[in-house]
Amino acid sequence: MDLFKDKTILITGGTGSFGQSFTEFIIKNYQAKKIIIFSRDEFKQFHMEKNIPDPENKLRFLLGDVRDKERLNRALKDVNIVIHAAALKQVPALEYNPHEAIKTNIIGSQNIIEASIDQKVEKVLLISTDKAAQPVNLYGATKLCAEKLFIAANNYSPNSTRFSAVRYGNVIGSRGSIIESLLNNKPTKINITHPNMTRFWITLKQSFNLVNFALENMIGGEIFIPKIPSMKLIDLTSSIAPNVEYQVTGIRPGEKLHETLLSTEESRRGFELKDYYIITPEKGLSIYDFSKYEKMGKSINEGFHFSSNTNTNWITKKDLQKIIHEI
């Protein structure tokens, strides 16, 4: 099934690691009508346009900011699918500049919702993060707000514009990640915040599959979560830089020891499929029927939570080295 056949797709924050890689993925594998990259960095757009093969001239680049609703209204004209990846993400920076996080991650998401409804976009998908589940930092709190906005938005556009979200952890090989830093900088000394810290890890290909699955199956208001593995950060760094000296510095402001992708409270209204968990909206917050997921999987057991330290699926050092080699 060609999910994007003859569709116009707009990706906010499309010059980021996900946006660039997903754009290449669509061009190579699908027959989209047009792919619009919407972002505020003209330099990144210039390099993206230069480096991504576009033999059928399907790529378009629009400068703009999700904070500007008027610009979004113009950009979303005749768009079928929106993938909302634009966000401020650096946890320490957002702890120090909370007002900027709110303007982009919350108000910007609200602008996406309103412009999408006004322009009658068919499907709008939020790219969220594990930090939105039981957040302890401002970044996670703003992404939780964005999720809540997207879920409630379905009541303002019944059977017209559908809104859902995907939630996942750290992306292996993304720009600015710890893996990229270790591979490119070859440090002689590494700071470790805590020796037992764990994180969820996902490859770009897995994130593409998740987005495609969500867009193909979304009814409106779900949060789609992939069953991805965990790894200790100290194991990750030692597998890439085995002979480097380590210094434990302590957990930074706004940082968790472990992350959660699915909380106990959310699991009560969730479904487990082969490769994904799906959280459906709380009763009274949706007009849609989600019974199809009962046929696709099963209800999640009472009390279950999906956290990086209690995960049953772990990446070994050998697994990581194989993934990095493939990247």
For the chain, the average pLDDT equals: 93
C-alpha separations of 296 from 1, 147, 179, 217, 263 in Å:
18, 23, 35, 11, 21
Please tell me the predicted confidence (pLDDT) of residue 253: 84
The structure's pTM equals: 0.95
Tell me: the pLDDT tens digits for 225-277?
999 999 998 888 888 877 778 888 888 888 899 999 999 999 999 999 999 99
Catalytic site residues?
131
Spatial distance between the Cα atoms of 83 and 76, rounded to a whole number of angstroms: 11
Confidence of residue 38 (pLDDT cuts 50, 70, 90): very high
Q: 129 forms bridges with which residues in the sheet?
A: 168
Please tell me the predicted confidence (pLDDT) of residue 179: 74
In contact, 231 and 314? CB cutoff 8 Å:
yes
Please tell me the predicted confidence (pLDDT) of residue 175: 67
Planar angle of CA 262, 263, 266, nearest 5 degrees = 90
Architecture of the CATH domain 8-169+203-227+261-306: 3-Layer(aba) Sandwich (3.40)
* Residue of 156, 159, 166 whose CA lies nearest to 222: 166
Spatial distance between the Cα atoms of 309 and 294, rounded to a whole number of angstroms: 28
Q: What residue segments make up the domains of the chain, in order of their start?
A: 8-169+203-227+261-306
DSSP sequence for 16-83: SHHHHHHHHHHHHH---SEEEEEES-HHHHHHHHHHS--TT--EEEEE--TT-HHHHHHHTTT--EEE
Q: Is residue 55 over pLDDT 80?
A: yes
Tell me: the pLDDT tens digits for 202-213?
999 999 999 999
Angle between helices 317-326 and 233-240 (to 10 degrees): 60
CA 190, 195, 199, 203 dihedral sign is positive
